[in-house]
Amino acid sequence: MLPPKAKDKLAHLLGPRGYLDRPEDLSLYEYDGSVDKARPDIVVFPRSTEDVVAIVKISHEYGVPVVGRGAGTGLSGGAIAVAGGIMIGFARMNRILEIDLENERAVVQPGVVNLDITQAVEPHGCFYAPDPSSQRACTIGGNVAENAGGPHTLAYGVTTNHVLGLEVVLPDGSVFTTGGKESDLPGYDLTGLLTGSEGTMALITKVIVRLMRKPELVKTVLAIYDSPEDAGRTVAEITARAITPVAVEMLDGVMLQMVEQATHAGYPMDAAAVLLIELEGLREMVEEQTEQIRQAASSCGAREVRLAKSSEERELLWKGRKNAFGAVGRVSPTYYVQDGVVPRTKIAPTLHFIGEVGKKYGLTISNIFHAGDGNMHPIILFDARKPGDLEKTRAAGEEILAYCISVGGSITGEHGVGMEKNEMMSHLFSTESLDMMRSFKRLFDAGNRLNPGKMLPTGKGCLEIRQPALGPRAQAY
């Protein structure tokens, strides 16, 4: 519970329009894109690093937990205040502070929307590479916290490959910077350590990002299949031919129908699966690789291989892909998105296993994922109003992730661990490795006040998250 004196100090610091504390307002901040809920005691909106420092010092004085929040588009519960306390919303720290085109750098505040960076530099022939499906809404601070990815990470990498430096605030209110505009600075890679730390070590107040030049030519290919396994084999065949597209996305038949009905992007509704493949670079190379892709897809059973004939057709196909989650919402009242990773050679058997899990629990599971790097996104459709449906969904998701680990994969590729998968970390890492991670957490946040209950296993009875039906806030004890 937030002490009244702490609330008074926050109100005085930020003014009447700088915070929210009414229950009806707080209810909008008790969830993200995952299936868990928990309500903060207050949501505050700083406009500067100085505001964040003052907020953190108040939380330190009263021993109150602090959770940072961007746009709330996360899918693992990373921005949920499981222990209540202060939620810092970075929506008003949304300025692009500097654009350095000559050196291909930009300096931004954490509340800047991902796509806004590309739109700001696009007239100059540049772009910001990491492109989560939620890039029209998600913010850079959240992307850095979760080490977000996106369809084009196959060639360009995830967020950590494009973050050069940070300004951060520690739990005691001290501020320090990591990295810089220069490449390969000496010393420990604190930027890499904090990117993907899910707000459990520090709060990010400034980010230096890498910009890239737009390629000479882009081509988008749609390969259509009557079998998901054939699509999976195509991914392995493309790799065997030493081709690295910038994106290889797969949508199965269930997902295709939902996406096409919602977006009319031109996807075949009678197919069992499609691969959306994008190539870019020098003209001659792209032309040659496009023909190689066509041959690879045909040899693996593709019934048709289409080439987008215009930039408008290409953008429409990508609109369908990036609006897929919204399309699911038209069909199912609730759904659960998983984020396991498997080796590319294991995509086909993993799809088969996911289908068997769906049959076992009587659940519809659709698949849309980054096939190029084996980042699977099975989407489990369920109705939270039906008794037992959520529990079945969680069990199905856990089985899928356990299978991913068993074939040499991981429990997350880009959504983060959050409060959704923290107890599964012990299946992936040794006790010694987890203890080392905990030592870093203690080094930065000895009082465990920054985003408690996330990423690392808590152990039953230490911090158990219960369903919100037990009360307005998830129980922590």
- Residue 310 in domain: yes
Q: Confirm if 140 and 207 have CB atoms less than 8 A apart.
A: yes
- Residue 44 in domain: no
Pair (276, 336) in one structural domain: no
Q: Confirm if 276 and 251 have CB atoms less than 8 A apart.
A: yes
Here the tokens at position 239 are 């790799």
Pair (122, 201) in one structural domain: yes
Pair (387, 403) in one structural domain: yes
Give the pLDDT confidence score for residue 471 in this predicted structure: 32
Q: Confirm if 243 and 314 have CB atoms less than 8 A apart.
A: no
Going through 1-112 in order, the beta strands assigned E by DSSP cover 19-20, 42-44, 66-69, 86-89, 96-100, 105-108
419-451, pLDDT tens digit by residue?
A: 999 999 999 999 999 999 999 999 999 999 999
Give the pLDDT confidence score for residue 345 in this predicted structure: 87
Give the pLDDT confidence score for residue 473 in this predicted structure: 33
Pair (129, 165) in one structural domain: yes
Helices (H), 71-164: 114-121, 140-146, 153-156
CATH of residue 233's domain is: 3.30.70.2190
Dmax over CA atoms of the chain, in Å, equals 70
- Point out the domain boundary residue: 326, 358, 374: 326
Count Cβ atoms below 10 Å from residue 331 Cβ, excluding itself. Answer: 15
Here the tokens at position 108 are 């931004």
- Residue 195 in domain: yes
Give the pLDDT confidence score for residue 183 in this predicted structure: 82
- Cα–Cα distance between 220 and 218 in angstroms, integer? 7
- Point out the domain boundary residue: 286, 310, 326: 326
Backbone angles phi, psi at 160, to 5 degrees: -60, -25
- Cα–Cα distance between 198 and 417 in angstroms, integer? 8
Give the pLDDT confidence score for residue 158 in this predicted structure: 96
Pair (201, 238) in one structural domain: no
- Residue 229 in domain: yes
CA atoms within 13 A on the CB side of 117: 36
Residues in CB range of 83: below 8 A, 6 or more apart? 38, 65, 452, 453, 463, 476
CATH of residue 407's domain is: 3.30.70.2740
Number of domains in the chain: 3
Q: Confirm if 157 and 143 have CB atoms less than 8 A apart.
A: no
Measured torsion, CA atoms of residues 336, 474, 199, 412, in degrees rounded to the nearest 10: -30
Pair (299, 338) in one structural domain: no
Residue listed under structure tokens 């230096």: 208
- Point out the domain boundary residue: 213, 238, 273: 213
Q: Which residues sit opposite 99 in a β-bridge?
A: 106
First and final C-alpha spacing in the chain: 13
Give the pLDDT confidence score for residue 127 in this predicted structure: 98
In order of 65, 185, 231, 253, the CA distances from 172 in angstroms are 12, 27, 51, 51
CATH of residue 144's domain is: 3.30.465.10
Give the pLDDT confidence score for residue 329 in this predicted structure: 86
- Residue 39 in domain: no
Pair (104, 166) in one structural domain: yes
Query: Beta strands 212-213 and 304-307: pairing type?
Result: unpaired
355-399, pLDDT tens digit by residue?
A: 999 999 999 999 999 999 999 999 999 999 999 999 999 999 999
Percent of the chain with pLDDT over 90: 92
Count Cβ atoms below 10 Å from residue 126 Cβ, excluding itself. Answer: 18
- Smallest CA-to-CA distance from 161 within 108, 116, 211, 111 is with 211
Side chain identity at 218, as an amino acid letter? V
Question: How does pLDDT run along the chain (477 residues), one tens digit per residue?
Answer: 899 999 999 999 999 999 999 999 999 999 999 999 999 999 999 999 999 999 999 999 999 999 999 999 999 999 999 999 999 999 999 999 999 999 999 999 999 999 999 999 999 999 999 999 999 999 999 999 999 999 999 999 999 999 999 999 999 999 999 999 998 889 999 999 999 999 999 999 999 999 999 999 999 999 999 999 899 899 989 999 999 999 999 999 999 999 999 999 999 999 999 999 999 999 999 999 999 999 999 999 999 999 999 999 999 999 999 999 889 988 998 999 999 999 988 998 999 999 999 999 999 999 999 999 999 999 999 999 999 999 999 999 999 999 999 999 999 999 999 999 999 999 999 999 999 999 999 999 999 999 999 999 987 533 333 333 323 333 332
Which residue range forms the structural domain that includes residue 257? 217-326
- Residue 440 in domain: no
- Cα–Cα distance between 177 and 170 in angstroms, integer? 11
- Residue 76 in domain: no
187-231, pLDDT tens digit by residue?
A: 999 999 999 999 999 999 999 999 999 999 999 999 999 999 899
The helix, strand and coil proportions of the chain, stated in percent and rounded to the nearest 5, come to: 40, 20, 40
The radius of gyration of the chain's CA atoms, rounded to the nearest angstrom, is 22
- Residue 273 in domain: yes
Give the pLDDT confidence score for residue 81 in this predicted structure: 98
Pair (152, 203) in one structural domain: yes
